[in-house]
């Protein structure tokens, strides 16, 4: 197929990307195969970076000079589930109606992916002197780790970029900071016995309750510490327990109890502080109480996701560029986590800036307005002009 036949509008490209069911629990390889075929039709070099299981992959493409780092346009390909949601049309068939494009991932964040891919012919025609890289990842909605293996290659077999723009929906506001998101499960292993004789065993549920109470105290401390920058809502690090399960009956000391918890930390927070505080409580208080009548139990905490925060970097190459492209004069924060912190941790100046509103993400009848799609296209065209003259 000739390149002319492969020229797709952003809306055409969005329809194609939405048609792939890339819920995080499923493979994204059919979408990646399509993107590779599209890039090949335009003779755009790329690398595929598979996960360990081989059922998912990221892709990193470069338009322009191959011997230097440029500007990364970074998006994820996975989406959240639609199970149990009341959609008025097929979530995986783009529906355009009343100035909106509806579909799972339409705003979070296949619209940004579609804009970057649809712009490939224009990027090429601009004769870039600073390359534009398109990075599409996986598992952002679950662990945010699908971008990491590719980032590790930057500075090795891939050039280090000058800046990264992560295209999560911000209404094209330039975001320079967000909290971290770190999630855990803690399991208390006790020993079953009749509740009338608690000295014959150890209750996992009772010990879990103590641990949750300690997390509450830690959360209160974080609230009192607050946010010295005054930029976040809420203005403090949050600690939250989402689920708890354990025990078999009211009159049996519970054998096991598991709870899932998280903290969302300000960029200034030492990421080890909260888990270290809970671990000290485990060692100094909870384990001693659990095993006061014998060596009955143990406590284990497993880290599930560690999404680093994005710290402000005033005047960075990414901030200056994105503010100019978006026509803004100040930066903002967002309450949700993104892959941006991984880029920043690798020493790459990074901001978050993409079309559409996060308010429409993860909902039934998720949508992006056509107006925001057009605004995103104008953003991309300004980027092309900038990279052609830099």
Task: Judge whether 78 counts as a catalytic residue.
Answer: yes
140 is a catalytic site residue: yes
Residue in this structure with the two tokens 């009159």, named with its chain if needed: 251
Q: How far is CA 317 from CA 172, 215, 322, in A?
A: 17, 39, 9
Say which of 78, 141, 262, 366 is annotated catalytic: 78
Kindly provide the b/e burial profile for residues 171-185, where b requires at least 16 CB atoms within 10 angstroms of the residue's own CB: bbbbbbbbbbbbbbe
Are 341 and 146 in contact, with CB atoms under 8 Å apart?
Answer: no
User: Which listed residue (108, 113, 139, 140) is catalytic?
Assistant: 140
302 and 182 Cβ atoms separated by less than 8 Å: no
Query: Omega into 109 within 30° of 0, i.e. cis?
Result: yes
Distance CA 378, CA 115 (A): 10
User: Do 7 and 366 meet the contact criterion of CB atoms below 8 Å apart?
Assistant: no
Q: Which residues are catalytic?
A: 78, 140
């Amino acid at each position: 197929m000739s390149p002319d036949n492969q020229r797709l509008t952003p809306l055409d490209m969005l329809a194609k990307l939405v048609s792939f069911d890339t819920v995080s629990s499923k493979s994204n390889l059919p979408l990646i195969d399509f993107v590779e075929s599209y890039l090949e039709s335009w003779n755009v070099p790329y690398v595929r970076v598979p996960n360990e299981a081989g059922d998912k992959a990221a892709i990193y493409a470069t338009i322009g000079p191959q011997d230097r780092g440029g500007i990364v346009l970074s998006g994820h390909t996975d989406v959240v589930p639609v199970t149990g949601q009341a959609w008025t049309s097929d979530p995986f068939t783009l529906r355009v109606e009343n100035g909106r494009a509806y579909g799972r991932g339409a705003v979070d964040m296949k619209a940004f992916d579609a804009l970057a891919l649809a712009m490939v012919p224009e990027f090429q025609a601009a004769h870039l002197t600073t390359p534009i890289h398109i990075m599409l990842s996986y598992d952002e909605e679950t662990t945010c780790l699908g971008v990491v293996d590719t980032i590790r290659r930057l500075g090795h077999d891939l050039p280090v970029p000058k800046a990264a723009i992560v295209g999560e929906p911000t209404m094209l506001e330039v975001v320079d900071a967000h909290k971290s998101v770190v999630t855990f499960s803690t399991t208390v292993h006790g020993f079953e016995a009749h509740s009338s004789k608690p000295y014959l065993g150890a209750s996992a549920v009772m010990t879990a309750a103590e641990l949750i109470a300690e997390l509450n105290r830690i959360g209160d401390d974080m609230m009192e510490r607050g946010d010295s920058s005054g930029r976040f809502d809420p203005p403090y690090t949050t600690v939250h327990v989402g689920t708890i399960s354990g025990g078999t009956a009211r009159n049996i000391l519970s054998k096991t109890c598991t709870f899932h918890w998280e903290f969302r930390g300000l960029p200034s927070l030492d990421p080890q502080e909260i888990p270290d505080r809970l671990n000290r409580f485990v060692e100094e208080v909870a384990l001693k109480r659990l095993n006061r009548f014998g060596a009955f139990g143990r406590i284990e905490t497993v880290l599930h996701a560690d999404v680093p925060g994005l710290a402000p970097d005033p005047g960075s190459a990414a901030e200056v560029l994105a503010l100019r492209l978006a026509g803004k004069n100040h930066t903002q924060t967002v309450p949700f986590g993104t892959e941006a912190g991984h880029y920043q941790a690798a020493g790459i100046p990074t901001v978050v800036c993409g079309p559409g509103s996060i308010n429409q993400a993860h909902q039934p009848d998720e949508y992006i307005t056509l107006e925001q799609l057009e605004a995103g296209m104008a953003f991309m065209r300004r980027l092309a002009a900038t990279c052609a003259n830099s």
